[in-house]
Amino acid sequence: MLKDHVVLVTGGGSGLGLGVARYCQAAGAEIAIMEVSADKAARLREEFGPGVLVVQGDVTRLADLQACHDAVLARHGRLDALIGTQGIFDGNVPLMDTAPERIDALFDEIMHVNVKGYVLSARVFHDLLRASEGAMVFTTSTAAYAADGGGVAYTASKGAIRSLVGQLAFEFAPHVRVNGVAPAGIANSQLRGPRALGLEAQRQSDIPKDAFLAMFQSLSLMQDLPTAEDHGPLYAFLASRHNKIMTGQTVVADQGLLNRPVLTRKA
C-alpha cells in the first residue's frame, strides 16, 4: 500500500500513533516520527533503529515543526503523507464538576494539542505535500459525533478537527488530499489526562482491561476491541496514492458504536 511513500507520523511515540507507524512501515513506507516525550523518542530509536528518523518536538510549537520539516527534507528529500495522531483527553469530567477557574487552562491545553497542533502541522508541511501531490490524515474521534465520548473540552476539540479536515481539503485542493479518521475504543490507549485538572499522570489504559472491554462490548455491535495497529489500514489507504476518490471526509471507525439500539436491547 505504501511502497515508495515517505510518511511522517506526529504523536507516534505510543498508543494509536505507534501502532499506525508500525503498520505504515510494514506496508512499505519510509517513516519518520515526531514525538514530544524524550523517553518515548529514545524508545522509538531503540525499536526502529537508525533507519527511521525520530524527531523529538512539540506539535504546538512552530519552531519544533519547522525543525522536523527540515529534518525530513534532509533525510528523505520529500514527504508523501502527514499522519497526525497526537491528542490528550479531558478525563470525561462533566462541566459542572469542573472548577470555573480551571476552564481557561483546560481549554488552552486541550485545544493547543488537539487542534492547534494540526493547524500548525498543516501549514508547515503543506509545501512538501503539494510538491508530491500528497495527503494529510488527521485523527478526530467518535466524540465529535455523539455525546459522552469525553467532556466538553475533548468533545469540542474533536469536533473542531472534524471541521478542520473539510476546510483544509477545500483550501488545499486539488494538490493535497485531507481526510480524517474517527476511532472509538482502542485497546491500551495511551491518551493522558490534562495537567489543568491534575490528571496528567492518568492514561485511558489505566482503566482495568476487563472493565473497559465489558463497557465497549455493551455498546458496540462488533465485539473485538481493536488495537492501534488495527486502525493502520485506514490511515495507510487515506495516506496513499491509491486514494484517488476521497478528500474532506472522515472515516468513522466505531465498530458499530454509534448504531446503538433504540427500540430493543440485548439480552
Least confident of 155-164, 172-181, 199-208, 240-249: 199-208
Whether residue 105 is predicted with pLDDT greater than 70 in this model: the reply is yes
Least confident of 4-8, 85-89, 145-149: 145-149
> How far is C-alpha 21 from the chain's CA centre?
11
Q: Which residues are marked as active site?
A: 154
Residues facing 136 on adjacent strands: 82, 178
Cβ-count burial of 198 within 10 angstroms (0-12 exposed, 13-18 middle, 19+ buried)?
exposed
Q: Is 137 left (phi over 0), alpha (psi -120 to 50) or beta?
A: beta
The pLDDT tens digits of the residues spanning 186-225 come to 766 667 677 777 776 666 555 555 655 566 666 667 667 7
Helix (H, G, I), strand (E, B) or coil at 55: strand
Residue spans per domain, the chain: 6-253
Q: Where does the pLDDT of residue 255 fall: very low under 50, low under 70, confident under 90, or very high at 90 and above?
A: confident
* Closest among 241, 246, 247, 114 to 178, alpha carbons compared: 247
What is the identity of the amino acid at 216?
F
Q: What is the DSSP letter of 81?
A: E
Helix (H, G, I), strand (E, B) or coil at 205: helix
CB 113 within 8 A of CB 217: no
* Residue 74 pLDDT: 98
The pLDDT tens digits of the residues spanning 146-171 come to 888 888 999 999 999 999 999 999 99
In angstroms, the Cα distances linking 62 to 7, 55, 114, 210, 262 are 20, 14, 15, 41, 46
CA atoms within 13 A on the CB side of 203: 13
Q: Which CATH superfamily is domain 6-253 in?
A: NAD(P)-binding Rossmann-like Domain (3.40.50.720)
